[in-house]
């Protein structure tokens, strides 16, 4: 299995709180890694460190074997780190399709010079992007929402659109932050299917999720975090079977 992401000795503290304590982690192509742990364990912080929202105090991050420590958030997205957000952060004043069209890693149409000197090229690029966006929406059964304003849609659909927008970035790494929080019913199946398809296409996927059955259905491997540390790395079954972790997290 080809390694996509490697994290080495990642360290981050805010005042007295350590959110990442010597984190080592590797994710390979086609793998779906579950990231579980209690609230405040440092899961979202780890996503923020990997995607570049936060700067680590120490440690390194490698994407496809290449060190990306110095790259800011937007450059990492262009290198192919795509992520979703717990609270979606959709563009509120825009339609679903327009939200999607801001998603691609690199889009020639969004340039003032192209606006002035390459309108035909922009039209072609725009048409191609629209087709791709409609394709992704189609896979999720959301074509009919394309021209709706995102704020007018029910929560579950907004959640799916958050994922769909991120999928416009076709990079090698996909970070999903609590995709199932607040989602019920049909969206569950859709989310499972789409994430599996993405992994099958060769992407590395990492999912933070409290819904353990979602993780069990989806992931072969999972990591348990608490207090900024990785306590265990193994199969989901192993993690659930572990008495200490059960006590820490599942509160049984």
Partner 1 sequence: MDYLITLAILIAIYVILGASYNLVIGYGGLSTVAHPIFFAIGAYTTGLLSVNVPELPAVVNVLLGMVTAVVASVLLAGSALRVSGDYLLIASLGFQLGLLQLIKNLDFTGGPGGLSAIPSTILGAARGPAFLAITGAAAVACVFIIRAIVNGPYGRAISAMRDEELAFTALGRNAMSMKIAIFAIGCGMAGGAGGIYAYYFQYISPDQFEVLASATILTMVVLGGMGTPFGPVVGAILLLAIPQAITFLQLPPAIMAPTQGIIFTVLVLVFLYLRPAGILGNKARAI
Interface residues toward partner 1, by CB under 8 A: 51, 53, 73-75, 77-78, 83, 85, 89-94, 98-99, 101-107, 109-112, 115, 122, 126, 165-166, 168-169
Could you give the 3-state DSSP secondary structure of residue 16? coil
Q: How far is the CB of 70 from partner 1 (least distance, A)?
A: 15
Q: How far is the CB of 227 from partner 1 (least distance, A)?
A: 26
CB nearer to partner 1: give 74 or 250: 74
Q: How far is the CB of 48 from partner 1 (least distance, A)?
A: 10
Q: How far is the CB of 134 from partner 1 (least distance, A)?
A: 16
Q: How far is the CB of 92 from partner 1 (least distance, A)?
A: 5
Contact of 110 with 168, CB cutoff 8 Å: no
CB nearer to partner 1: give 109 or 245: 109
Q: Distance between alpha carbon 133 and the CA centroid of its chain, in Å?
A: 18
Give the DSSP H/E element, type plus range, for residue 27.
Answer: strand 17-28
CB nearer to partner 1: give 129 or 218: 129
Which two tokens mark 106? 């690199």
Using CB atoms within 10 A of its CB, is residue 123 exposed (0-12), middle (13-18) or buried (19+)?
Answer: exposed
CB nearer to partner 1: give 106 or 189: 106
Contact of 97 with 90, CB cutoff 8 Å: no
Q: How far is the CB of 247 from partner 1 (least distance, A)?
A: 35
The beta strand positions in the chain, using DSSP E, are 3-14, 17-28, 32-36, 58-63, 66-67, 81-83, 173-177, 204-208, 221-226, 229-235
CB nearer to partner 1: give 174 or 239: 174
Contacts of 211 (CB under 8 A, 6+ apart): 180, 181
CB nearer to partner 1: give 20 or 169: 169
């Amino acid at each position: 299995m080809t390694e996509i992401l490697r994290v080495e000795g990642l360290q981050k503290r805010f005042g007295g709180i350590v959110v990442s304590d010597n984190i080592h982690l590797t994710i390979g192509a086609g793998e779906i890694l579950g990231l579980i742990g209690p609230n405040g364990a440092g899961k979202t912080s780890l996503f923020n460190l990997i995607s570049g929202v936060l700067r680590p105090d120490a440690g390194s991050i490698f994407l496809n074997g290449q060190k990306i420590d110095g790259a800011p958030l937007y450059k990492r997205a262009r290198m192919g780190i795509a992520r979703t957000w717990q609270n979606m952060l959709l563009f509120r004043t825009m339609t679903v399709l327009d939200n999607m069209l801001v998603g691609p890693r690199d889009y020639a149409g969004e340039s003032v010079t192209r606006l002035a000197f390459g309108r035909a090229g922009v039209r072609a690029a725009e048409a191609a992007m629209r087709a791709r966006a409609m394709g992704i929406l189609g896979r999720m059964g959301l074509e009919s929402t394309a021209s709706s304003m995102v704020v007018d849609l029910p929560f579950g659909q907004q959640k799916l659109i958050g994922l769909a927008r991120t999928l416009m970035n076709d990079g090698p790494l996909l970070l999903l932050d609590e995709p199932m929080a607040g989602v019920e019913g049909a969206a569950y199946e859709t989310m499972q299917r789409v994430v599996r398809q993405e992994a099958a296409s060769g992407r590395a996927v990492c999912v933070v999720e409290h819904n353990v059955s979602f993780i069990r259905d989806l992931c072969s491997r999972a990591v348990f975090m608490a207090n900024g540390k990785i306590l265990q790395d193994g199969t989901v079954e192993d993690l659930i079977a572990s008495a200490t972790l059960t006590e820490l997290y599942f509160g049984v």
